[in-house]
Structure 1
């Protein structure tokens, strides 16, 4: 993973910790609840989301991706070192459901991810998930497949799909 992707994930993790992850804060719980129920426009109308947009330099072309990102991050209650795909592979999500998730796009993918996050006890590596959701390409899916089955993705397999 490149340095830019690491810093992106760390920026989003820092934002999540302050605005959503602080579960002892009524304000954070309320924002998370609003984002979970929000449509794209409602999510983008939150000041905290606009703060994140500025931090990650997201412009109008990335508005839909930003709205999807924050709505899914609002589902997570606890940051963990394990990526979501690895947590799902520990007997949490069946192989058929995982395969369906890997094929899904758009709203279907988001709905499946919401259910998967809930099945993983709403706990995963927030920085890794944010980076993967922002990118969501073949390299990401390949990495998820290896993580789901408990292995590290070969660097050449991921590199080929990013070139």
Structure 2
């Protein structure tokens, strides 16, 4: 994970654990369904999403990122140590290289759709904090995702120097 000095990934993980993870809680299941299926404005009107925005200090200028984050967190069922690109890549990838490249080039709603597909292909399990942190710093995260997809650790120093 790219350095997360503000702990945004940990904040999002805590929010996910309280609001989405408890699948035996009907309120959590209902919120998850509304976030997965809702239009962007409906997602923004959810009080729990507003709580997430407050906890992450995200304002109106980052509303699209907040909607994407909430919708994708709602897709996850399990927090796994492995980041999403490792879960879908590796020696026997469940997400083809072509689809992975398409995901990395995508923007806006297409990015959300591609990430949603990847999460489903990863059995709805990945490192929740890493995913949240990466989504909030998507341009900086994409090069590292390439390394992770192919099962390698990104040379942090080189990537930080080139993206800084």
Which range, TM-score by smaller chain?
Answer: over 0.9
- Residue 162 of structure 1, CA deviation: 2.9
1:147 correspondence with 2:164: no
Length-normalised TM-score, structure 1: 0.94
Structure 1 equivalent of residue 104 of structure 2: 102
- Residue 103 of structure 1, CA deviation: 1.1
Q: Which moved more, 1:43-52 or 1:149-158?
A: 149-158
- SS of aligned partner of 2:5: helix
Length-normalised TM-score, structure 2: 0.94
CA distance in 1, matches of 2:25, 2:5: 30
Structure 1 equivalent of residue 27 of structure 2: 27
CA distance in 2, matches of 1:107, 1:3: 25
- Residue 157 of structure 1, CA deviation: 2.9
Q: Deviations over 1:23-78 (max 9, x none)?
A: 11111010000000011110011110111111111111111110111011111111
Structure 2 equivalent of residue 76 of structure 1: 76
Structure 1 runs, 4 residues or longer, greater than 3 Å off: none
Assess if the C-alpha contact under 8 Å between 2:4 and 2:133 holds in 1.
no
- SS of aligned partner of 1:140: helix
- Residue 15 of structure 1, CA deviation: 0.2
Tell me the matched-pair count.
Answer: 161
CA distance in 1, matches of 2:10, 2:51: 15
Kindly tell me: are residues 24 and 161 of structure 1, through their superposed partners in 2, closer, same or farther at Cα, counting changes over 3 Å?
farther
**Structure 2 unaligned blocks of 5 or more:** none
Please, what is the CA RMSD of the aligned residues?
1.1
CA distance in 1, matches of 2:98, 2:162: 24
Assess if the C-alpha contact under 8 Å between 2:88 and 2:95 holds in 1.
yes
